[in-house]
Amino acid sequence: MTEIPDPTRGRPAGVLLAGIDRRAKEGFTGVLRADGPVSGIVVLREGKVVAAATPEAPGPEPLLLRSGRVAEADWTAAFAEGAPHGRLAEALVAHGALGALGVEVVAATALADAVFALALRGVQTCVAAPLDAAETGPLLFLDPGLAADDVVREAQRRLAMAAEWQERGLTSTAVPASAAAGSATDPLLAAVNGRRNVRGLAFALGRGLFATMRSLADLMDAGAVTVSAEPGQAGPPTSQDAPHEPAPPEGLPKRLRGASDVIRVLPFRPDR
C-alpha cells in the first residue's frame, strides 16, 4: 500500500482529490481509503471512478428508501437476492423497483456526494490498496465508471460553493432552525427542528448532502432558516449509513445494458 502525501500544503480537501487524479492516471484498479475527521472509500477500475462511500453522506439505501422512491418491501427483496453476490442493481431492476437508468442515476449521485462530503470535511491520509473481494464496500457501482477529471472538477465546483456557505455558518455539522413559519409544501423546512444537523437532515429526507446544503442556503437567503454551530443529531444509526454492505465477490459487477448514457449528464452537469 502507498500513502499519498498532501501536495496542497494545508488544504485537506486536496489529499483526496490529488489521490484520485494520481491513481486514475496510473490506470489503477482498487480502493482509496480516505481518513480524517470522517472516513470513506473511493473505488477505481482501470483508472475510472466507479463508486465512493462514506458515513458522512447518504448512500443508495437512504437515497432510495427515505425519499420514498423505492418501497421498503421491494428494497428488502432486492437486497437479499442481489447484495450478497454484488448484483443489487440487477435485482432492483428485476423486482421493478427501479429502471436501469434510475439505478445508474442513484449510483452516480451517491458517488459524487460521497467524494464531496469527504473532501469537505478534509482528508488527512489517502491510502491505495488492491480491491479485496472479502471487504465491505458500496452497494452500487458504475460501469465503465466516471472520468477522474470529471469527478475532481465537480468536487471542486461543489467545494467552492460550500466555502461561501461555510462563511455564513452553514456546514455539515451546523444545526438549522426555522426563523419563520414553515411551509407544509417544503419537506426540508418542515424537517428543520433545531435539533438535527445538516447531515442528519440529509439522511432523514434521503437527499444528498450537497443538495441539502444548497437548499438550506436558499432558505437562509429567504430568511426562513438560521444556523447554529452547536452539535445536533448525528443522523440515523451507523448500520444505516456506513459503507458496510458486501462488495462483489468476483471483482466489480457488470453494468446494466442501456444505462450508460446517464454518465454523460449526471451528476456532473452544473446544478441550476
- Rounded distance, CA 112 to CA 263, Å? 11
Q: pTM for the full model?
A: 0.82
Question: What are 262's three cell numbers?
Answer: 446517464
pLDDT band at 143, cuts 50/70/90? confident
pLDDT tens digits, 227-246: 987 554 444 433 333 333 33
Share of the chain above pLDDT 90, in %: 59
pLDDT tens digits, 24-51: 999 999 999 999 999 999 999 999 999 9
pLDDT tens digits, 44-86: 999 999 999 999 999 999 999 998 899 999 999 999 998 888 8
- Rounded distance, CA 34 to CA 16, Å? 7
Per-residue pLDDT at 17 exceeds 50:
yes
Can you give the residue ranges of every domain in the chain?
Answer: 2-159+241-264, 163-228
pLDDT band at 185, cuts 50/70/90? confident
Q: What is the chain's percent helix, strand, coil content, to nearest 5?
A: 45, 15, 40
Closest CA to 157 of 198, 102, 214: 214
- Rounded distance, CA 219 to CA 179, Å? 10
